[in-house]
Chains A and B, each alone.
Chain A
């Protein structure tokens, strides 16, 4: 049997997804037996021109991690889409925008002002901002353009599968790789994970009644490790997050932050959690409700931690 031709790419990401791919451990040897990796910037020395020379659809599958933030990210997404039979959005950033997508609370101008002017360690009296093109004695230099809005991979090119997680767990990665290796592919558009239900569904913590009078931030209480964290007032996202990770975070005493994305069929993960959370507030008095809600200091950042670009509104309005 011909070996599977794979490529891996990182766009706007932290590098964690590439590490997560290696975290499949000794299965990597199995992968090496059945697959050739043709392009993988973090690990192997290839040039974009090597990819450009490949015939269209000559790559079997591309594992694309990272969001689309610059013209370079966008260009390579189109290039790899053209060369690959299967395009996989791997990890939260590629799938939903992820942490880099939090930049959609701002715009290019405010990000540049912060990064190149306002930060305490910056000394830039002439207010020089990065320019896509610059003339130097040797000629013109070009760097990628920084876009105003972060996009998901599927908002940029056609995507066949999604692998959730920030980063995806080893078993989730292997589930996707196994499907590629065996050729037993799920229907197009599938989010590849062991569960279509919620993290709560696989969480072993004891659940009683969900009625909340006060919310806490993680540093404010030491929760009972045996009981549901949400019932103790922590903003545990398990109710509105796809399972498959095995409910890792709550079992370690940390609330789920939602990294496996929405449960099957949900549009706008953030509003799903918002709705679930508001519903369990144990109060009917408008003023007291305001007071309870004031303990949720950053609702939009909490609800859309991984999914602002993929949300219905996609970004904040900047006045």
Chain B
């Protein structure tokens, strides 16, 4: 069997983190090819339902990246994300989904190296956890 390659959906805010990822690319920094990037205007745009949908559709993990605290283009967006992600992680753990699968972090436009290391770290953590099958543990019926 081929080695498990985690699928990670990454929501990146337009103003800092997407630019950071871009910098990683233009600087030719190597990083794990496991992330599928979705650009959003602000990390505050990432409603918890986006994350649930990604997990439901087969993502093994979801990464949300925004501007560092205090730097959000819309002032408050990333703080709101911080609160929602904390509550979402607690809720997901009751549903059998490990904390490491849903990660929030901050990457500025100049942090290409940081972007790459966050992606690499998360990929390795999820590789160790194995695939997420949302209905794992369910016995067959009907």
Interface residues of A in 103-136 (CB under 8 A from B): 105, 107-109
The reply to whether A296 and B82 contact each other, CB–CB distance below 8 Å, is no
B97: shortest Cβ distance to chain A, in Å?
A: 6
The contact of B86 among A270, A289, A301, by CB within 8 Å, is: A289
The reply to whether B141 and A145 contact each other, CB–CB distance below 8 Å, is yes
The contact of B83 among A109, A283, A298, by CB within 8 Å, is: A283
In angstroms, Cα B129 to Cα A55, docked, is: 54
Residues of chain A lying within 8 A (CB to CB) of residue B134: 313-315, 317
The reply to whether A281 and B83 contact each other, CB–CB distance below 8 Å, is yes
In angstroms, Cα B41 to Cα A201, docked, is: 30
The reply to whether A318 and B49 contact each other, CB–CB distance below 8 Å, is no
State the interface size on chain B (CB cutoff 8 A).
34
The reply to whether A274 and B87 contact each other, CB–CB distance below 8 Å, is yes
In angstroms, Cα B93 to Cα A319, docked, is: 12
The reply to whether B48 and A275 contact each other, CB–CB distance below 8 Å, is yes
Known A300-B91, A300-B94; contact A271-B49, beta-carbon cutoff 8 A: yes
In angstroms, Cα B53 to Cα A212, docked, is: 28
In angstroms, Cα B84 to Cα A278, docked, is: 5
Interface residues of A in 67-117 (CB under 8 A from B): 71, 74, 105, 107-109
* Chain A residue at smallest Cβ distance from B133: A317
Interface residues of B in 87-142 (CB under 8 A from A): 87-88, 90-92, 94-97, 132-142
* Chain B residue at smallest Cβ distance from A148: B139
A145: shortest Cβ distance to chain B, in Å?
A: 7
Residues of chain A lying within 8 A (CB to CB) of residue B64: none
In angstroms, Cα B95 to Cα A290, docked, is: 19
* Chain A residue at smallest Cβ distance from B88: A274
Q: C-beta contact mask, A249-279 vs B, less than 8 Å → 1, else 0?
A: 0000000000000000001101110110111
Residues of chain A lying within 8 A (CB to CB) of residue B95: 105, 300, 313, 315-317
In angstroms, Cα B80 to Cα A319, docked, is: 32
In angstroms, Cα B38 to Cα A230, docked, is: 34
The reply to whether B142 and A74 contact each other, CB–CB distance below 8 Å, is yes
Q: Does A208 contact B (CB under 8 A)?
A: no
Q: Does A149 contact B (CB under 8 A)?
A: yes
Q: Does A177 contact B (CB under 8 A)?
A: no
Q: Does A312 contact B (CB under 8 A)?
A: yes
Known A275-B47, A299-B94; contact A315-B135, beta-carbon cutoff 8 A: yes
In angstroms, Cα B49 to Cα A216, docked, is: 25
Q: Does B25 contact A (CB under 8 A)?
A: no
Q: Does A147 contact B (CB under 8 A)?
A: yes
The reply to whether A289 and B139 contact each other, CB–CB distance below 8 Å, is no
Q: Does A26 contact B (CB under 8 A)?
A: no
* Chain B residue at smallest Cβ distance from A269: B49
Interface residues of A in 26-77 (CB under 8 A from B): 71, 74
Q: List 17 A-B contacts (CB under 8 A).
A: A105-B94, A275-B49, A277-B87, A278-B48, A278-B87, A284-B82, A293-B87, A300-B91, A300-B94, A311-B52, A312-B53, A313-B95, A315-B135, A316-B94, A317-B97, A317-B136, A319-B136
Q: A interface vs B, CB < 8 Å?
A: 71, 74, 105, 107-109, 145, 147-149, 267-268, 270-272, 274-275, 277-279, 281, 283-284, 286, 289-290, 293, 296, 298-301, 303, 311-319
Known pairs A289-B83, A317-B133 / 4 extra A-B pairs, C-beta < 8 Å:
A105-B94, A275-B47, A278-B84, A279-B80
